[in-house]
Structure 1
Amino acid sequence: MSRTFVEALREKYCEDDGENQENFVVDIVFSNRPTPTSGSSSDDVELGYLKNMVLCKSSINKAGIPSNGLRSLCPNVVDLDLSFNSINDWDEVLSIFHHLPALKFVNLSGNPLGGTQVPTPCAGQTFGINDLVLNSTQVTWDQAITLGCHLPKLQELHLCQNGFDDISTSTDRLCESLPALKCLRLNGNNISRWEDVIKLQYLPQLHTLILSDNPLLNISPVTMVTADSHTPSQENEPTSCKESTKPPALEKGASQTEENGLEEIQGESEPDKELPNDVSDSTSTQEECSNQEDGSVQSGIGATAIDSDEITVEKEDGDDDVTMAFQALSVLCVSNTKLSSWNDIEALRTFPKLRSLKIRDIPLGKDLPEDDRRRLFIASLPNVDVLNGSELTPTETDKSERHYVRYFSDKPDPPKRYRELVQKHGELKSLSVVDIGRNFTEFACLSFVYGGRCIHQEKVCVTEPVGILKKISSKLVRKSPMFLKLYYLPKSREDDGSELEELILETLPMSRYDMMDGDEIHIDVSQKPQRRGAALLKQGPVTPR
C-alpha cells in the first residue's frame, strides 16, 4: 500500500494516539537541545531531536507535505534514507528537499526516478546537500546534471548500477553543474571507453573516482592544455544551471517565512552526523572503496565529506594559462575492469595527484601469482603511495623494482619503465630456482638390520614420525621400545662414505632424514632402558654393537 513521506514519517517516529499502548518499551535518550530554526520555537517542534531519518522500503510514492510545511515536525533532519521506495517524480523529491533545509546526506537508491525531468532551479532555490546517493534509480546524465544545479554544495555523488554505457554530457556542463564535486562513484555500470571518462577531467575538485565493475578497456595518459581549450561554450549547449523564471512545483504551500529560514540554515555550518542503527543495505554498493587513506569518503548515512580545502596543482613560472587534466584526482579505483595492457598502467603515472589506486581482478597479469602481480604494479607506479589499500614501504618498493627488472629482462618488448629501472638498478640476472622437493617420495622401502643381517623390509610413509620405526623394531626383536636404539644408514646415497646416524628425536618426521628406498634401519638392544632426556643430547656418528 502506497503512502506519503509524511504518513510514513509519522507512523515510524511519532507517538500513537492511545491505541495499542498496553505492551511497549520506551527508550529515553538525553541529548543537547537542537537549535530551533527561524520562525519556530523549541516547544512547537514535535521531532526536533531527530537528525537521522531512515524510511527505506516504506512504500513511499509522494511527499504529501502539509500546507504548514515540516517546520513544526522535524526541521533538524540532516541524514535522510529514502531508498527502495516508489518515488518516481522529481517534483516530489525537491519538495522534500525544500521542507528539510538542514539536509546534508540523502539516499534515494532504488526509486524509479528515470522517467521524469528535473525542473530547472529558480533564483535562490538551491539546497545545501553535499552527499547524494542515486544508485539503481535509472537516472540519466541529463537528470544528474540538472539536479546538480539545485545542489551547488554537492561533494559526493553516487551513480552506481544505473546502466550507463557512456557519459552522455559535455565537459563544460559537468564543470558548470558540479563545481564542488569531490567524489564520484560509478560502480557497476557499462562504461567501456576512456574517451567518456576523460569528460570528467576538468572537474576542479574531483578527488576520488570509482570505476570498478565497469568493462573499461583502456586508460590514456592525461594531458596539459591551455585554459582556452576547455572554456565553457554558451553556443549549442543545452540549458543546465541557468535560472528559470517559472516558479517550481515545490513552492506550492510554502510560506515566505520558510524561504527565509531556508537561506539561513543553508548558511550554517554542517552539524555533526551520527550513524543510525537501522542503516539501509542500499549503501553496500559503495563499500568496496570506502576505506581509503586520508581524503577518501565514507559512504552511507552519517558519511563525512572529504576535506573541503581546495586542491590545486603546482605550476611552474609562465604556466598560468595551463591546466592539468584530473588536477585534483588522488584516489582511483579500477578493480574488476577489462584493463589488459601495461600501457594502461604506464598511463596512470601521468595523473599529477594520484596517490591511491585499487586495481584488483583485471586481465593484466591474471596468470601470475598475486604477490608477483603486486610487485609489478608497484614498480610500474612510482607516484602511488597506497596500492589496493596497503601503504607502500621503501623496502617493498625496492624489491618490487628489482623483481620488475628480472621479470622483463627476457621479454621481447618491455614497457618504458623497464629502461628507467635498468638505469637505476642495472641489469639483474634471474634468481636461481631451487626445488627443495626434488627427489622427494612420500613412501620408502626400508630394510631393518639386526645382528648384522636384514630381518625385515617394510614400506613406510616418510611423513610419519621416527617413533613409528621404533614400534616396528620392537615387534621384530620382541623387546620393549625403551631398550632399543635405532640407527639410520642412507644406502641410497651416491656417497659411499655414509655413516650410521642415531635416530634420537622420536617426534621428528622421517622425511627430515631424506629416507629413500633401500636405506637401512639398524636395531641395537641396550641393557638399560633409554632415558627420555637422552634424546636431547647431540650425538655423533657411532658404530652399533
Structure 2
Amino acid sequence: MQDSPDSSHGFRVGQRVHSSGDSRRIGTVKYVGPVEGYSGTWVGVDWDNGEGKHDGSINGVRYFHAKSERSGSLVRAPNLSQGISLLEALEKRYRSKSTSDEEDEMYVLSTSNNRVSIQLVGKDKIQDKLSRFEELTNASLAYMGVSFPGIPYQINTTVPNMKELDLTGNLLSDWKDVGKICGQLPALQALNLSNNLMSPYKSELPPLESISILVLNNTGVDWEQVELFRQSLTAIAELHLIGNNISRVLPMSSSFVQGFNSLRLLNLDDNCIAEWDEVMKLSQLRCLEQLYLNKNCLNSILYPDNGQQNELEATSYKPFQNLHCLLLGDNNIGDLVSIDSLNLFPNLVETRLSENPIADSTSGGVPRFVLIARLAKIKVFNGSEVTPRERKDSEIRYVRLVISRLHANAEEIKQHPRFSELKSLYGIEDERPSTGASGPQTIGSGFLSITLKCVGASMGEKKPLIKKLPATATVGKLKFLCESFFKLKSLKLKLFLQEEGSPLPVLLDNDTSSLMDLGIGNESIILVDEES
C-alpha cells in the first residue's frame, strides 16, 4: 500500500510526533490513511526508541517500512501530539504553577514511614525570577514537544536576552525553523539541538554570527551538512556531533576542511570514522585545540612526516598546530607505532587511549607505565594527571623492561625510540642476567633479586625475604611462591610493587604478566597483601 502524503487530521509523512502524555516517546510519521478491517484514519509511526509492535505491516498488508522489526505502530490520531511552539513551551516550563499532584510529590518519609510535606525555601522567589522572561538568559526546554517557532517576532520581544537554549529531544526537523528561532535571539550563544532528527538541507543557513556553541548530537547530520555551516556560524567555538554515523569528512572545496576560524573544540565521539586519512582532513583547522574521537573505528594514528607535510596546501602551518587534547578511547588501535606518532603533534599534552587493544595488557596490549614512558609530552592520560613522580617511575620501569628484552633480542631497540634518551637521563646501567660456565645466559634464565614483604593484617609479623626470581616469572606464579614462602595457603593474595619515592604502591593485577613485562628490576620491593 502506498504512503499517503497527508490527512484531514493534519499529520503528514515525515512529520515528527510524540505520544500524547509522553513527550519522550518520539517518532516519525510514515503513513497516514485507512487500515484494512478498521474504520477511520490511522497514523503509522516509526518510533525512535524501537519500541513499537511491528515493521509497518499488519495481516500481510504493508503500510510503511519501519527501521526495525518492532519499531512501527499504527496509532489513532488523538493518541499523538504534533507539538507546541517555542513560546508555548517557555510558558509551560517557567510560568505554569505546580499542579496539586506535583505538590503531593514534595515530601519526605519520617522514621515511622509517614509522609511529611516539605517546602522549598526560596522557591517562590526563584519561580518569580524565572517567570520574568525579559530577564531569562538560560532556558532548558528538553523534551517539551517543541515543533515550530511560533508567531514571528514574538520570540525576540518575549526573551530578548536569551544566551543559552537547550532544545534536546524535541520535534524540530526543519532547519528553516531553527534559523527563525536563532534569528530572533540576537544574544544567543549556545544552542543544543541533540536528539532532534534534522532533515538534510541543501542551502546555507541564515547568518548566526552570535552562536559559539552548537550541539548536534544524534541529529542525523553528516559532514556535507556541516560544511554548509561555514558561512553561517562565523563565531563557532564548539561543535558537538556525537552519534551521527559520520564515516567520512568531506571538505567542500579542497583536500582539507577550511574556514571555522574560531573552532576550538570538535566532538566526533561515537561515529564511524575508520581511516586516519579522514582525520587528517581536519588538520588545517588553525584554532582547533580539542578533538574528540572516542568510540569510532580507527585502527591507527599517523602524523605526516616532512615529505607528506610538503603536500599540505598550507605549508607554513603544521598539521594540528594548536591541538592539545586528542581523545581516542574505545577504538581499534593496537600498534605502538601509532602511540609513538602522538609525540609528533606539536602541542599535544592530553590523550585518551583506554578501551583500545594497545591499552589492554590482559590481551596483548601494554600497561599504563609503558604508554606514559613512550608519550614524552603527555600530562593528562586517560583522564588522570601524569604527575612528575608517575612519569619518572614509569620511565625507569620502561627502561628496565627494554633492557631485559634486549638481552634476548638486540633488534628490540628499534621498537623503542625513547629508550636511549631515557637510559641516559636516569643513568641506568644494563642489568645483566647471571653468567654460567657456558657464558652469558638468555633472558629466560636471568634472575632478579626481589625483596618480598608481608603487609596483610592477618598474616602476622613475618620477616622480609630476599629471593632470586626468574625475570620471566608471572605474577600468578609469584603469588603461588609467596603462599609457600610465607605459609599462607588459606589466603587469597594480591601483590604490589613498592617504588622508591612513590606515595602509593602499584597493584600487580594481571596474573599473566611477567616481572620482565612489568619493568620490575633488580632489588625491587614487592608487598604481599591479602584480598579484602
CA positional deviation for 1:223: 4.3
**Kindly tell me: are residues 513 and 434 of structure 1, through their superposed partners in 2, closer, same or farther at Cα, counting changes over 3 Å?**
closer
CA displacement 1:487-522 (0-9 Å, x = unmatched): xxxxxxxxxxxxxxxxxxxxxxxx9996799xxxxx
Structure whose alpha-carbon radius of gyration is higher: 1
Unaligned stretches of 5+ residues in structure 1: 34-44, 233-320, 439-461, 467-510, 518-545
Equivalent residue for 1:83? 168
**Kindly tell me: are residues 370 and 339 of structure 1, through their superposed partners in 2, closer, same or farther at Cα, counting changes over 3 Å?**
closer
Q: Residue 207 of structure 1 contacts residue 329 of structure 1 at CA under 8 Å; is this kept in 2? A: yes
Equivalent residue for 1:388? 382
Whole-angstrom distance in 2 between the partners of 1:403 and 1:188: 35
TM-score if structure 2 supplies the norm length? 0.57
CA positional deviation for 1:386: 2.1
Q: Residue 259 of structure 2 contacts residue 285 of structure 2 at CA under 8 Å; is this kept in 1? A: no
Q: Does 1:432 align with 2:448?
A: yes
Matched positions, count: 346
Higher strand share: 2
Identify which of 157, 177, 181 aligns with 1:96: 181
Superposed, which structure 2 residues align to 1:143-162 within 5 Å?
Answer: 143-162=225-244
Identify which of 341, 346, 366 aligns with 1:352: 346
Please tell me the residue identity of whatever aligns with 1:429: E
CA positional deviation for 1:211: 0.8
**Kindly tell me: are residues 224 and 118 of structure 1, through their superposed partners in 2, closer, same or farther at Cα, counting changes over 3 Å?**
farther
Equivalent residue for 1:182? 264
| SS, match of residue 200 in structure 1 | coil
Q: Residue 118 of structure 1 contacts residue 147 of structure 1 at CA under 8 Å; is this kept in 2? A: no
Q: Residue 227 of structure 1 contacts residue 323 of structure 1 at CA under 8 Å; is this kept in 2? A: no
CA positional deviation for 1:191: 1.0
Equivalent residue for 1:57? 143
Q: Residue 154 of structure 1 contacts residue 181 of structure 1 at CA under 8 Å; is this kept in 2? A: yes
Q: Residue 291 of structure 2 contacts residue 326 of structure 2 at CA under 8 Å; is this kept in 1? A: yes
**Kindly tell me: are residues 7 and 378 of structure 1, through their superposed partners in 2, closer, same or farther at Cα, counting changes over 3 Å?**
same
Q: Considering only aligned residues, what root-mean-square deviation do their CA atoms show, in Å?
A: 4.0
Equivalent residue for 1:119? 203
Equivalent residue for 1:194? 276
CA displacement 1:304-351 (0-9 Å, x = unmatched): xxxxxxxxxxxxxxxxx6221100000111111111111011100000
Whole-angstrom distance in 1 between the partners of 2:417 and 2:227: 40
Please tell me the residue identity of whatever aligns with 1:106: L
**Kindly tell me: are residues 175 and 21 of structure 1, through their superposed partners in 2, closer, same or farther at Cα, counting changes over 3 Å?**
same
Identify which of 364, 368, 377 aligns with 2:371: 377
Please tell me the residue identity of whatever aligns with 2:234: P
Q: Residue 194 of structure 1 contacts residue 219 of structure 1 at CA under 8 Å; is this kept in 2? A: yes
Please tell me the residue identity of whatever aligns with 1:210: Y
**Kindly tell me: are residues 368 and 422 of structure 1, through their superposed partners in 2, closer, same or farther at Cα, counting changes over 3 Å?**
farther
Whole-angstrom distance in 2 between the partners of 1:108 and 1:228: 40
**Kindly tell me: are residues 21 and 385 of structure 1, through their superposed partners in 2, closer, same or farther at Cα, counting changes over 3 Å?**
closer
Question: Segments of 4+ in structure 1 off by > 4 A?
Answer: 19-26, 30-33, 170-175, 223-232, 368-372, 435-438, 462-466, 511-517
Whole-angstrom distance in 2 between the partners of 1:152 and 1:76: 20
Q: Does 1:166 align with 2:235?
A: no
CA positional deviation for 1:52: 1.1
Please tell me the residue identity of whatever aligns with 1:116: P
Equivalent residue for 2:296? 214
Whole-angstrom distance in 1 between the partners of 2:188 and 2:330: 34
Whole-angstrom distance in 2 between the partners of 1:6 and 1:68: 11
CA positional deviation for 1:226: 10
Please tell me the residue identity of whatever aligns with 2:90: L
CA positional deviation for 1:394: 3.2
| SS, match of residue 124 in structure 2 | coil
TM-score if structure 1 supplies the norm length? 0.56
Whole-angstrom distance in 2 between the partners of 1:129 and 1:465: 66
| SS, match of residue 448 in structure 2 | coil
Equivalent residue for 1:132? 214
**Kindly tell me: are residues 174 and 146 of structure 1, through their superposed partners in 2, closer, same or farther at Cα, counting changes over 3 Å?**
farther
Identity %: 26
Equivalent residue for 2:417? 416
| SS, match of residue 346 in structure 2 | coil
CA positional deviation for 1:160: 0.6
Whole-angstrom distance in 2 between the partners of 1:331 and 1:80: 27
CA displacement 1:455-476 (0-9 Å, x = unmatched): xxxxxxx96889xxxxxxxxxx
CA displacement 1:219-241 (0-9 Å, x = unmatched): 00244589995558xxxxxxxxx
| SS, match of residue 201 in structure 1 | coil
Greater RCO between the two (CA within 8 Å, min separation 6)? Answer: 1
Equivalent residue for 1:453? none
CA positional deviation for 1:403: 1.3
Q: Residue 87 of structure 2 contacts residue 149 of structure 2 at CA under 8 Å; is this kept in 1? A: yes
Equivalent residue for 2:323? 329
Equivalent residue for 1:28? 125
Q: Residue 51 of structure 1 contacts residue 78 of structure 1 at CA under 8 Å; is this kept in 2? A: yes
CA positional deviation for 1:20: 9.1
Whole-angstrom distance in 1 between the partners of 2:249 and 2:284: 14
| SS, match of residue 416 in structure 1 | coil
Q: Residue 224 of structure 1 contacts residue 323 of structure 1 at CA under 8 Å; is this kept in 2? A: no
CA positional deviation for 1:13: 2.4
Identify which of 354, 357, 376 aligns with 1:363: 357
Unaligned stretches of 5+ residues in structure 2: 1-80, 105-118, 433-446, 462-482, 490-532
Q: Residue 331 of structure 1 contacts residue 356 of structure 1 at CA under 8 Å; is this kept in 2? A: yes
Superposed, which structure 2 residues align to 1:465-480 within 5 Å?
Answer: none
Whole-angstrom distance in 2 between the partners of 1:222 and 1:192: 17
Whole-angstrom distance in 2 between the partners of 1:369 and 1:138: 35
Superposed, which structure 2 residues align to 1:465-504 within 5 Å?
Answer: none
Q: Residue 145 of structure 1 contacts residue 177 of structure 1 at CA under 8 Å; is this kept in 2? A: no
Whole-angstrom distance in 2 between the partners of 1:228 and 1:364: 31
Q: Residue 227 of structure 1 contacts residue 322 of structure 1 at CA under 8 Å; is this kept in 2? A: no
Please tell me the residue identity of whatever aligns with 1:207: E
Q: Does 1:105 align with 2:190?
A: yes
